[in-house]
A and B are shown apart, each in its own frame.
Chain A
């Protein structure tokens, strides 16, 4: 009986004739940053969607903290400790940063069916939102409208929203996407700082970031796990080099 924080066992997903996920096995340990890499079309997004609950697997199990999540809908998995960010920044653009954080925090502090009390009077929620803002360096921009923030800050807000759930495992789907070198460096530092809070499953194409952050790496190709192991092991793995690292220059 493995003591891993998170286990995906034998996950299979078909889309018509296409086998997008082929008996994938994946584990993530507590306190670990586990990177998921692979060429385009390898099935990384499908796998993340299976784990977060947007897709239902044709076979296999998902276990977090000893709890079987496979039958739970996406929003229930969040309550069990699984949180995610999307590939494209997904925040509430028309609202202020503070309102964004309040909304995220509200989901985990009591019922959202309460319809009579004014939310503006709930100081506990405000405190939690503020704490989150400070932890992620968003305190300066609390009252700015989210859509008006520069790309890097929006991404940070994105991560902050996912952290409101105080997850045990955080799924980050290409957090460096569309970022210049400065923003990327900041994001790398941010992710590294999150290690104390939760384990992280990180999908990325940016190899610099991957090698800086990851404890272990899983390589996916054509829906199957090609190799799993420590950074050094993966870097030296001949099949991985052939399929992936050889054909793609580091970002």
Chain B
């Protein structure tokens, strides 16, 4: 296991982590500010992936396809919030879980009806299909570098939005103490809609970008939901900063676990056992991380609520 391999895996982990951040940031804000568990967040991610793949395949340039996918998903999210999610803010978490689970089921069927049950190929933009020579011995896929780049830019943008704009201040106030924010005259309804739609945009962006390097299929939303939930629990509910740190941690731990554990175990254990144990441990690595964090800091790394 050489250092080039390690570096490559770390970069992969970084990219995956940043995409997780895009997804988790919206989920964390919605949970932190509206106290609403929105499982359909994963479906918005899926929508972004399918729409971008479709647009790109129909001839649009890659960047255009991504932006179009985000725009359409944002519109869908706006309608979703208006019709259903808005009525869930006052309900208990279980009702929210059931209702948004229902949305997931409907979304899965809509996708199946439009694109069929088989996975869809999301083509990688030709210009980025090749490797970039980062170091003399490290060729790294250009597309993955794009993910890292976009992820960092969006993270910066989100940070600036939340800490340096008025709407960001309102969002933070709502996250730390909604009741007080309401009493102080914040137009809570508008802030809620904004947060929901912003989260949807980020999720769609993540989906659109992940499309070419992962499987665009029904159920991809549910699959990424669990890592996203792990991220927001580790990071602290309602905290964008927490989501960022936690997403990077989860991304790195997950990728590193899958890459480094099997070979490491093979060095000390008989091959059959190493293979079994390696697969099992790699899968649970992020849960062990979550448990460890919660033992030390029961409310996550950066809890937004006082």
> Are A and B in contact, CB atoms below 8 Å, in the complex?
no
Q: Spell out A's residues near B (CB within 8 Å).
A: none
**Residues of B in contact with A (beta carbons under 8 Å apart):** none
